[in-house]
Amino acid sequence: MSGPPPKSPILYTFRRCPYAMRARLALSVAQMDVRVREVVLRDKPAEMLAASPKGTVPVLVLESGEVIDESLDVMRWALAQNDPQGWLSADAAEASALITQNDGPFKGALDRYKYPNRYEAEGIDPLENRAAGLEILRGLSARIAANGGQLLGPAPTLADMAIFPFVRQFAHTDADWWNAAAPEPVKTWLAGHKQSALFRTIMAKFPQWAPGDAEPALPVAG
């Protein structure tokens, strides 16, 4: 990254991106002093691309100049500083397996269901992909029912917070279908996270950042 290191960590983010959401969730719950640069993905700032040429959000630039540009790495970095709700307390291997399933098969089905025009060359059927996503969600729903309300127990952990932004996107693709077809435990789980004070906090709206603009602080969970 060119230029002097920042005085506080800087987060390049896009409000509606589920990868950026989960990074903001962890940074907020950890009460990190982070400055926000909201980007528009079709108009990425040169400063973000200099820090992370792959051009995806989130990108966290630390005071040292170190760049963390994978969402799970941002989450784990934040929680390593402060984990007041014990998100890292669950079995790490079990959490990792659930997140890998989400970021692989579930995200693949979600994209082909939500954005079928992007995959026309594959000859995909969006409804087949919706069914594949729903099958994964049935497994999550059984876990939620068995574990007292969350994926790995009665309290949210890293797995819940890393996964629910993607389930939210899946549900919002066709809300009527979701309300009719999704298993009740996963519907209740998702609704609880969407209605939480933490999620409302990290979904604060910021204008697109440009060089010279003020950098608002990321709202932190109270």
Residue spans of the domains in the chain: they are 92-197
* Token code pair at residue 177: 């279908």
Three-state DSSP state, 16: coil
State the DSSP code for 43: B
With contact defined as beta carbons under 8 Å apart, do 14 and 39 qualify?
yes
pTM: 0.95
Chain centroid offset of residue 97 CA: 16
Residue located via tokens 């059984």: 142
173 pLDDT more than 80:
yes
Fold of 92-197: Glutathione S-transferase Yfyf (Class Pi); Chain A, domain 2 (1.20.1050)
Tally DSSP H helices, then E strands, for the chain.
10, 4
Distances, alpha carbon 116 to alpha carbons 7, 50, 102, in Å: 43, 32, 19
In sequence order, which residues have a C-beta less than 8 Å from that of residue 123 and are 6 or more positions away? Answer: none
Average pLDDT, integer, range 20-28: 98
pLDDT 10s digits, 66-123: 999 999 999 999 999 999 999 999 999 999 999 999 999 999 999 999 999 999 888 8
**How does residue 3 score in pLDDT terms, banded at 50, 70 and 90?**
low
Predicted local distance difference test score (pLDDT) of residue 78? 98
Predicted local distance difference test score (pLDDT) of residue 1? 46
What mean pLDDT value characterizes the chain? 95
Do strands 35-38 and 59-61 pair parallel, antiparallel, or not at all (unpaired)?
unpaired
210 pLDDT more than 90:
yes
